[in-house]
Amino acid sequence: MGESSVVSPLKNFLAGGVGGACLLLAGHPLDTIKVRLQTQPISAHNVLYTGTYDCFRKTVSKEGLLGLYRGLGAPLAGVAPMMAISFFGFGLGKQLQQEDASKPLTRTQIFLSGCLAGVFTTVIVAPGERIKCLLQVQSTRGGSMYSGPVDCAVQLYKNQGLRSVYKGTVLTLIRDVPSSGLYFLTYESLKVLLTPEGQSVSQLSTPKILLAGGMAGILNWTIALPPDVLKSNFQTAADGRYRNLLDVLTTLLREEGATALYKGFNAVFLRAFPANAVTLPLRNTPSCS
């Protein structure tokens, strides 16, 4: 698909870092709303937030606009290398599968390259998500255990070691491996689809690149949201709340029904298009496949 020349992994690394910073700036407020909606307890008589707007309104009212940026430090420290490693993994996956540079990769090969990117990023994403989510929800639970991301990381490590810092790693893999594959497959496919006949993908206009990036983000989250809900609940739960990953799923289904797996839906999809439209074009190069 696309053109046959290969982007160097280093170029993907640097471009991914810039794209990651833009993704964070565009999407963190809605990410905070998403996590708070996903982790709020649901009972017949007490619902803290009734929806995306209600969460936004109450957060700003009680905590100011900065409340929407709770937990920003952890992803700010990790998003650039995370996105850079993601694009590095994607580029490496393509190189490993492309024996003949004159032949374009198949859709399956592009999907598998994206899956490899998801595996690569987990080492950074999992602890970053753990710290971010804890900081995002602590004010809604009547306390301030952590003064910031560094304090949170130190306390987690002191109390239960590295295992606590990486709590939720398996769910992060379940979320990110297939969704990253779909993310890159959609982006690369749409670029080819939107390229006028007789032109190169590298000549694609900025609006069309933005469209491809935004749609890639939306489709990414269609399969990422349920495991993301499970991950957020597992990572922010008190010790002993869940016995294992399956217990998170069965507990949510028993207490809230299947719709619990889609909590934060509106916030996710409001965020997905603009955030990913900003990110992917920044690493767009004349030889993306």
- How do residues 222-257 score in pLDDT, each as one tens digit? 999 999 999 999 999 988 899 899 999 999 999 999
Q: What per-residue confidence (pLDDT) applies to 273?
A: 87
Contacts of 131 (CB under 8 A, 6+ apart): 71, 74, 149, 152, 153, 156, 165
pLDDT at 134: 96
Distance CA 106, CA 231 (A): 32
Distance CA 194, CA 204 (A): 8
Contact 167, 107 (CB under 8 A): no
What local confidence, expressed as pLDDT, does residue 288 receive?
Answer: 37
**Average predicted confidence (pLDDT) for the chain:** 87
Per-residue pLDDT at 2: 44
Q: So what's the pLDDT on residue 43?
A: 65
Instruction: Say which DSSP state 264 is in.
Output: T
168 SS3 class: coil
Percent of the chain with pLDDT over 70: 89
Residue 82: predicted pLDDT: 82
- The low-confidence residues of the chain, meaning pLDDT below 70, are 1-9, 12-17, 19, 43-45, 279-289
- The whole-number pLDDT of residue 15 equals 67
CA atoms within 13 Å, Cβ hemisphere of 124: 18
Distance CA 159, CA 174 (A): 26
Is residue 214 a contact partner of residue 187, using CB atoms and an 8 Å limit? no
- Range 93-130 burial, b when 16+ CB lie within 10 A, else e: bbeeebeeeeebbeeebbbbbbbbbbebbbebbbbbbb
pLDDT value of residue 286: 35
pLDDT, residue 142, reads 74
The residues, ordered by sequence, that sit 6+ positions from 196 with a Cβ below 8 Å of its Cβ are none
